[in-house]
Amino acid sequence: MDELSAQIRNCMYQYSRAIYRTIKDLIDPYADPDEQLEYRRAVLEACEDTMERLATDPHYFANPDKTLFQDIRRYFPITQQAQVAWAVQEGVGAAVAFVQTQIEAGAFDGGVARCRATTRKGKPCQRTPLPERDYCPSHQHLEHSKVAA
Ligand SMILES: [Zn+2]
């Protein structure tokens, strides 16, 4: 693992901690102490798994906030669900924004190669380039125009 991806992981860890700290005291207060401990561990693990997945595979993780909320909502009483949903949305949203800036800065280019084209929606193309090329099959004409120029 290079230094940059280690840094990204460290940042993601901070996000997962921040989410956990915000919601840990909302865990079902009527569960017995052993259960509460177990719930806390499960919530922390779910936060960390979400961030881990975001750090390693951000392109293919759709709706990470909804996924995390679905994973942990059962540990919270119904009266706290809105609070938990909000905290998860805010925390994961911040982490996603962070990962997005890292993607734009090229931090994820070292791993799996991505097509260099920009789609009509202005987002980077996520497809795999042709072998030893910078562009995917749909954008390969861009490579020719670059060579011609
Ligand atoms: Zn492409």
Q: What is the pLDDT of residues 1-58, one digit of tens each?
A: 567 778 888 899 999 999 999 999 999 989 999 999 999 999 999 999 999 999 888 8
Q: Which residue type does 130 have?
A: L
Q: Answer yes or no: is pLDDT of 148 > 60.
A: no
d(CA 63, CA 35) in angstroms, rounded, equals: 29
In angstroms, what is the span from residue 114 Cα to ligand 1's centroid? 8
Residue 69: its pLDDT value, please? 98
Q: What is the pLDDT of residue 124?
A: 84
Question: 118 pairs with which residues across the strands?
Answer: 124
Q: Any residues with CB less than 8 A from the CB of 76 and at least 6 apart, and which?
A: 23, 26, 27, 28, 84
- Predicted confidence at residue 145, as pLDDT, reads 64
pLDDT above 70 (res 146): no
pLDDT for 100:
87
CA of residue 61 to ligand 1 center, whole Å: 19
Rounded to the nearest angstrom, the distance between the alpha carbon of 123 and the centre of ligand 1 is 10
Q: What separation in Å is there between the alpha carbon of 104 and the centre of ligand 1?
A: 16
Whole-number Å distance, alpha carbon 118 to ligand 1 midpoint, is 7
0.75 exceeded by pTM: no
Distance 59 CA to ligand 1 centre (A): 14
pLDDT per position as a tens digit, 85-104: 999 999 999 999 999 888 87
Count Cα atoms within 13 angstroms, Cβ side, for 8: 26
